[in-house]
Structure 1
Amino acid sequence: MKTMPVIQRNFFRLLRSGTFGRKDEPLEPMSEWKWDRLCQLALMHGVGALVADGIKAYSDDFFLRLSDRQKDNWHRITEETEERNKETDMCLAELFDTFNHAHLRPILLKGQGFASLYDRPGHRSGGDIDIYFPYKPQAEKADAWAIEHGTEKDESDRNMLKYFRHGIKIEHHKQMMYLTNTLLNRRLQKIIDSEIRCCDSAYRIINGTKIEIVPHTLSLLIIIVRMARYIMNEGISLKQLIDFGMFLRKEGDKVDFVKLQKWIGKLQLQHMALLEGALLVKLMKFDEDELPFINFKNDTDTTTITDDIFDMNGSHTVDWFFTQGKHVFVTTSNSNAMLWHIRHTAKFFKYYPAEIFTNFFASFARSLSRIEE
């Protein structure tokens, strides 16, 4: 942390305070321009309202010098995040009431389920509503309902149906999570199917509605796999890292860590889980004892991944796809993004070699599929 510029050091102090109530370091002085850059960084990572909570906690700090314009801006960011979460919670409750009444067994993935763990649930920036239907007949009925009652339907992805309801994007997932390595994915799907069918269900109450979520031990595995996939394709997501820490703090006592460790071994996730755990320890100041399923024998270098946190150029995988012009030649729409992805794959190869190799070619194939016939 000592090598980080002052903007980044203050950013993590405020973020730790706004999420985990940690206020053990004083702020350092910054100019108005640097405070604007910090705000930009918070918005880029979808943690604006959480950093605003940190600013409130540091309100008596001598070096917290914000202009009236900046104070108004942080207030606006918080209000907009709260309003969006209210709209999402209302839509979520309506959907689950409808699907539960029809006995379709919807299971909420990530998103608002994680938000309910936060001290201020409305301050976690929401996104889509992701729903998993474990049984095919019920999933087909849910899709039929969505096609009839939703707007802007998108069935182009064979693994999910996308649509909008009350301005909120909804995704019906056919798989809770997947890996591109065929053998590892088969193992993952077996774990998911077994846990969904044999284990006690878990629930949250959101907007007065009982919402089924992923069972606790499986949920932590899915968090680790999701973070791994995001790291391989985009770099670290601070929202996912905070969800990881929040889940451990609030739900860790309900997790079977022996079972989780066996799953991590079956999926060859040990090195990637170690990297994710090291990030939680170094950036969010967690104790290694809070992650009993990770072996912290070696001092894991997190520099390669924290560099991506502060990359504000945005030329990542999402910009890497191919198009066909007037001639027979196929070109990438963003060569910088393609080069970034190649370097990124090489950089993280050692953390998950069994998956990252197939992941790279799967990304390549997806980009080629976008060529017009």
Structure 2
Amino acid sequence: MNIINRNFFRILRAGALDENEPLEPMSEFKWNRLFQMIKSQNVSAIALEGIQARRDDENNNIPSELVAELQACVYEAPKTKTQHAHSFEVPSLSNPILDHKLKKIFNNERHSIDTNIDSLRLLGIIIDNVQTILNKGMSLGGVLELGKFLRTRGDKVDFVKIDNWLQALHMRRMAQLQGSILILVFNFEQDEIPFVNNIEPSAGKIILRTVTNLATDTAEEWHFRQGRSGFVRNNSAVLRRNLRRSLRYIAYAPIETTSNFVSNFARSLSEIEE
């Protein structure tokens, strides 16, 4: 891992997990590159906390104008609502059968005698991350949210229920992939994440590809359009990128990955713009 990536993950660990690791001095060019990664990964608020936590480091030579720019970015960003423990939104899946199972899990657990809301919240984070991964690519912000929850509320979670739910939803490997990233780059121990039985071999490669790719990937770009000649065309580069992403993650959640791709494709056809 190069120095830019090392400092990038140190800043995120400091901001999200309160870890105390000194930064390595870098050139202004490399700090610019790191800040591009922060914005691309949508982790500006976490990174700002990490930078402020490490501001007294002897080796901290981050250009002040970059910090000021990041502060402006964070303060101007819309604030997300904090969800109440008993009223958070139930996530969705593209596959109708799995989505029905997911809704049933939430409904049954909320009305169970031994209701465990923290277990539902953990499942919700994992499923939300799955949707982000399949539609936009691996989300460091989502993985860090999972890590923060495990560190702060993990002792309240019923991991037997989590394992059963993930099995029913065919999401065990996708959850294990997220946990593997926490272990590989965010210094988690495997026993902190009971749903990780084995570290996924491709997790390291996936996360390095994620942080080095500064292109903004959005599902909204994937639209078919009808030209004057009557032929239907679309953004082929985005189509290929979506297909590659689906192929990359199909082994981790084959049913949902396939359904997600087909659903996006069908929705794009139904929204043909003349």
Structure 2 counterpart SS, 1:187:
helix
**Which residue in the other structure is 2:24 paired with?**
28
Structure 2 counterpart SS, 1:323:
strand
Q: Is the 8 A contact 2:109 2:115 kept in 1?
A: no
Pairwise CA distance, 1:301: 2.0
Unaligned runs of 5+ in 1: 89-110, 117-129, 133-175, 203-214
| Mapped partners of 1:78, 1:323: distance in 2 | 35
Q: Which protein has the bigger helix share?
A: 2
Q: Is the 8 A contact 1:324 1:330 kept in 2?
A: yes
| Mapped partners of 2:182, 2:128: distance in 1 | 15
**Which residue in the other structure is 1:349 paired with?**
250
**Which residue in the other structure is 1:196 paired with?**
110
| Mapped partners of 2:223, 2:205: distance in 1 | 25
| Mapped partners of 2:92, 2:48: distance in 1 | 35
Q: Is the 8 A contact 1:315 1:336 kept in 2?
A: no
| Mapped partners of 2:113, 2:83: distance in 1 | 18
- Superposition RMSD in Å: 2.5
Q: 1:293 to 1:246 in 2, by over 3 A?
A: same
Identity %: 36
**Which residue in the other structure is 1:279 paired with?**
181
**Which residue in the other structure is 1:63 paired with?**
59
> What TM-score does the superposition give when structure 2 sets the normalisation length?
0.89
**Which residue in the other structure is 1:170 paired with?**
none
**Which residue in the other structure is 2:156 paired with?**
254
**Which residue in the other structure is 2:91 paired with?**
177
Deviations 1:147-196 (A, max 9, x none): xxxxxxxxxxxxxxxxxxxxxxxxxxxxx222222322221121122123
What is the letter of the counterpart of residue 274 of structure 1? Q
| Mapped partners of 2:138, 2:64: distance in 1 | 32
Pairwise CA distance, 1:201: 7.9
Pairwise CA distance, 1:345: 1.0
Q: Is the 8 A contact 2:176 2:195 kept in 1?
A: no
After TM superposition, list the pairs within 5 Å mapping 1:111-260 onto structure 2. Answer: 111-113=81-83, 132=89, 176-198=90-112, 215-260=117-162
After TM superposition, list the pairs within 5 Å mapping 1:37-52 onto structure 2. Answer: 37-52=33-48
What is the letter of the counterpart of residue 361 of structure 1? V
Q: 1:199 to 1:294 in 2, by over 3 A?
A: farther
| Mapped partners of 1:199, 1:369: distance in 2 | 44
Q: Is the 8 A contact 2:36 2:214 kept in 1?
A: no
| Mapped partners of 1:365, 1:51: distance in 2 | 37
1:365 maps to which of 259, 266, 271: 266
| Mapped partners of 2:130, 2:113: distance in 1 | 25
Which sits farther off after the overlay, 61-70 or 181-190? 61-70
> What TM-score does the superposition give when structure 1 sets the normalisation length?
0.67
| Mapped partners of 1:200, 1:357: distance in 2 | 35
**Which residue in the other structure is 1:17 paired with?**
14
What is the letter of the counterpart of residue 192 of structure 1? F
| Mapped partners of 1:131, 1:263: distance in 2 | 18
Pairwise CA distance, 1:327: 2.2
Pairwise CA distance, 1:199: 6.0
Q: Is the 8 A contact 2:136 2:217 kept in 1?
A: no
